Amino acid sequence: MHAAVIVFPGSNCDRDLAVALEAAGTKVTKVWHKDTDLPQGVDMIGIPGGFSFGDYLRCGAIAANSPICKSVAAHAERGGYVIGICNGFQVLTETGLLPGALLRNAGLKYICKTVALKVETSASPFTEGYNAGDTINIPIAHHDGNYFADDETIARLQGEDRVAFTYEDTPNGAKADIAGILSSNRRVLGMMPHPERAADAGHGGTDGQALFRALAGALAAV
């Protein structure tokens, strides 16, 4: 089990993501955005939260055009695992690896608090440690977390069981309360909340731990 965590100028959750993955038993190598190749033997890629390139242009838009993102796309196309958290989710929509866009929060404010999420599906390598219908408490910290896609795309995501998490009380205006979605092969997850900030008792909550453990289990089985 070997994960690459991509680091952009302005990433601020790369270490937290690496620590959460390592605690679940995954080897982690950090990879600078200017690199073009992933380390040998990487099974999964983590795109961390933060403020890549200062959120200029649109959150994640400049990062999505970094040299390493061609390798991220090739890895996903080969059926590799990818998790994008918060700014990482924004990067995944900007690269087109996940559908939709993250717009400015409905209230135009940066929101930093712990929110209740509903686990919509346990049928993915990221969510199989939960039961569908579970409520988990996970922190959010973003100003552009308002998920948007056209009605047809939302219906397709719902019809294909690709909504991973919804907000129980949507803080940002996200369409259909969507907090996280899966790719059609279920191996790419993008989510705005930060499970790596709820992965150790010292964080004040451990509801994110099951995600990293399930992922490590799925990688061990590859």
Ligand X SMILES: NC(=O)CC[C@H](N)C(=O)O
Residues within the interface to ligand X (CB under 6 A): 49-51, 55, 59, 86-87, 141-145
- Closer to ligand X by Cβ: residue 121 or 139: 139
- Closer to ligand X by Cβ: residue 43 or 212: 212
Catalytic residue among 33, 142, 143, 194: 194
Instruction: Give me the least distance between CB of 139 and ligand X, in Å please.
Output: 9
- Whether 93 and 100 have beta carbons less than 8 Å apart is answered as yes
Q: Which two tokens stand for residue 172?
A: 């940002």
- Closer to ligand X by Cβ: residue 21 or 218: 21
Residue 196 is a catalytic residue: yes
Map residue 178 onto helix, strand or coil. strand
Rounded Cα distance between 221 and 87, Å, is 29
Instruction: Give me the least distance between CB of 97 and ligand X, in Å please.
Output: 17
Map residue 134 onto helix, strand or coil. coil
Instruction: Give me the least distance between CB of 133 and ligand X, in Å please.
Output: 27
Q: Which two tokens stand for residue 121?
A: 């599906």
**Interstrand relation of 178-182 and 163-167 (parallel, antiparallel or unpaired):** antiparallel
Instruction: Give me the least distance between CB of 68 and ligand X, in Å please.
Output: 17
Residue 203 is a catalytic residue: no
Residue 22 is a catalytic residue: no
Catalytic residue among 59, 75, 86, 120: 86
Residue length, the chain?
222
- Whether 76 and 37 have beta carbons less than 8 Å apart is answered as no
Q: Active-site residues: which are they?
A: 86, 194, 196
